[in-house]
Amino acid sequence: MEIIMSVVIGFLFMAAVYLMLSKSLIRIIIGTGLLSHGAHLLLLTMGGLGGISPPVVADGVSVSDYADPLPQALILTAIVISFAVTSFFLVLAYRSYQELGTDNMDLLRGTEDHE
């Protein structure tokens, strides 16, 4: 199972990098979304996918059967943060498109001489 997850994570990172290297701002934002998905999935996988019982102390359950609760707590925090950042990024992109009239990163290069 971990191997399949690793392949999925690798694919997400690959797709994210591909999208972030494109010129269009909206593709870049989707790329950052995929990148954080990959990172979150990695966090979950790295905690180990074993464990069949919820992490609550109960009779007749040995320690190795518990699912690890920590990666889930971490991932929840990370998801909330990346959600906030992505929504901020979308608003910023929309506003920039209105003000600057383009979403092409090539035209947003900006040198010290103009503006």
Partner 1 sequence: MSNLLLFPIIIPLFFATVLMIFPKRLKLQRFLAATGAAATLIAALVLLAKVNAEGVQAVTLGSWPAPFGISMVSDPLSALLVVTTSIITLFVVFYSFPTIGVKREQSFYYPAVLFLMVGVNGAFTTGDIFNLFVFVEVLLMASYTLIVHGGEKPQLRESIKYLLVNIISSALFVAAVAFLYSVTGTLNMADLAVKIPQIEETGILTVIAVMFLVVFGFKAAIFPLYFWLPGSYYSPPVPILALFGALLTKVGVYAIMRTYTLFFTMNIAFTHELLGIIAILTILAGCVGALAYFDVKKIIIYNIIIAVGVILFGIAQLNQPGVDGSIFYLLHDMLIKAALFFLVGIVAVLFGTTDLRKMGGLIKTYPFLGWTYLVAAFGLAGIPPLSGFPGKLLIVQGGFEGPQFWGSIVILATSLIVLLSAVRIFIYAFWGEPVETVPLKKSVFNQMFIPTVILVAITVVFGVGAELFMPFISGAGEVLLNPSIYIDAVLKE
Query: Between 58 and 94, whose beta carbon lies closer to partner 1?
Result: 94
Nearer to partner 1, 3 or 60 (CB): 3
The count of other CB atoms within 10 Å of the CB of residue 98 is: 8
Name the DSSP class of 65: G
Q: Among residues 71, 89, 91, which one has the least CA distance to residue 79?
A: 71
Residues engaged in binding partner 1 (CB under 8 A): 20, 25, 28, 32, 35-36, 38-40, 42-43, 45-48, 70-71, 74, 77-78, 81-82, 84-85, 88-89, 92-93, 95-96, 99-100, 105, 108, 110, 112, 115
Residue closer to partner 1, measured from CB, 15 or 93: 93
d(CA 85, CA 65): 36
